[in-house]
Amino acid sequence: MEALQLRDISKSFGRNQVLFSIDFDLQAGEIHGIMGENGAGKSTLMNIIYGNLKSDGGEIRVDGNPVTINEVSDAQKLGICFVEQEIALCQDATVAENIFMARINQGKGFNMKKLAEEARQILEPLCGGSIDPYEIVEKLPISNQQVVEIAKAISNNCRILILDEPTSSLSGEEADALHRVIQDLKKRGIGIIYISHRMSDIFGQCDRVSVLRDGTMVSTRPIAEATVQQLVNDMAGREVDILYPPKAEDLQRTEENVVLDVQGLTDAEGRFSDVNFKLYKGEILGFAGLLGAGRSEIMQGLTGLRPMKGGKVIFHGRDIMGKSTSAIFQDGLVMLPEDRKKQGLFLDMDIEMNTSAAYLQQITRGGMIQRGKEHRQAEEMSKSMNVRCTGIHQIVRSLSGGNQQKVLLAKVLAKRPDVVIMDEPTRGVDVGAKAEIHRLLRQLASEGVSVIMVSSELNEVMGMSDRVVMLDSSGCLVGDVTGDDINSDHIMYYISDAYKYQEKNDEVTEHE
Ligand SMILES: Nc1ncnc2c1ncn2[C@@H]1O[C@H](COP(=O)(O)OP(=O)(O)OP(=O)(O)O)[C@@H](O)[C@H]1O
Ligand SMILES: [Mg+2]
CA–CA separation, 114 and 132 (whole Å): 14
Task: Report the C-alpha gap between 182 and 189 in whole angstroms.
Answer: 11
Q: 271 or 218: whose pLDDT is higher?
A: 218
Largest Cα–Cα distance in the chain?
Answer: 79
Q: Which atom of ligand 1 is nearest to the CA of 53?
A: 1
Contacts of 485 (CB under 8 A, 6+ apart): none
- State residue 509's pLDDT score: 53
What does 395-448 look like in DSSP terms, one character per residue?
A: BGGGS-HHHHHHHHHHHHHTT--SEEEEESTTTT--HHHHHHHHHHHHHHHHTT
| Distance of CA 149 from the midpoint of ligand 1 (Å) | 21
Pick the most confident of 9-13, 405-409, 429-433: 9-13
| CA 215 to ligand 1 center in whole angstroms | 10
Percent of the chain surpassing pLDDT 70:
97
Ligand 1: which atom is nearest the Cα of residue 165?
A: 27
Spatial contact of 357 and 413, defined as CB atoms under 8 Å apart: no
Exposed, middle or buried by CB within 10 Å (0-12, 13-18, 19+), for 352? buried
Calculate what percentage of the chain has a pLDDT beyond 90: 51
Residues in the ligand 1 pocket, defined by CB under 6 Å = 13, 18, 36, 38-44, 85, 388, 398-403, 430
Domains of the chain by residue range:
2-236, 255-502
| 2-236 and 255-502, same CATH topology | yes
Which atom of ligand 1 lies nearest, measured to the CA of 402? 26
Q: Which CATH number fits domain 2-236: 3.40.47.10, 3.20.20.70, 1.10.510.10, 3.40.50.300?
A: 3.40.50.300
Which range of 88-97, 333-342, 344-353, 392-401 scores highest in mean pLDDT? It is 88-97
Q: List the residue whose alpha carbon is closest to atom 16 of ligand 1.
A: 41
| Helical (H) or strand (E) element with 182 | helix 172-187
> pTM here?
0.73
**Which ligand number lies closest to the CA of residue 13?**
1
Residue 421 and residue 485: Cα distance in Å, rounded?
Answer: 23
Give distance in angstroms: CA of 42 to centre of ligand 1: 8
| Smallest-distance ligand from the CA of 403 | 1
Give the amino acid at 42: K
Q: For ligand 1, atom 7, name the residue with the nearest CA.
A: 398
Which residue CA neighbors atom 13 of ligand 1 most closely?
39
What distance in Å separates the CA atoms of residue 225 and residue 478, rounded to the nearest whole number? Answer: 42
Q: Are 450 and 279 in contact (CB under 8 A)?
A: yes
Q: Are 81 and 166 in contact (CB under 8 A)?
A: no
Fold of the domain built from segment(s) 255-502:
Rossmann fold (3.40.50)
Do strands 275-280 and 258-267 pair parallel, antiparallel, or not at all (unpaired)?
Answer: antiparallel
Question: Is the pLDDT confidence value at 511 over 60?
Answer: no
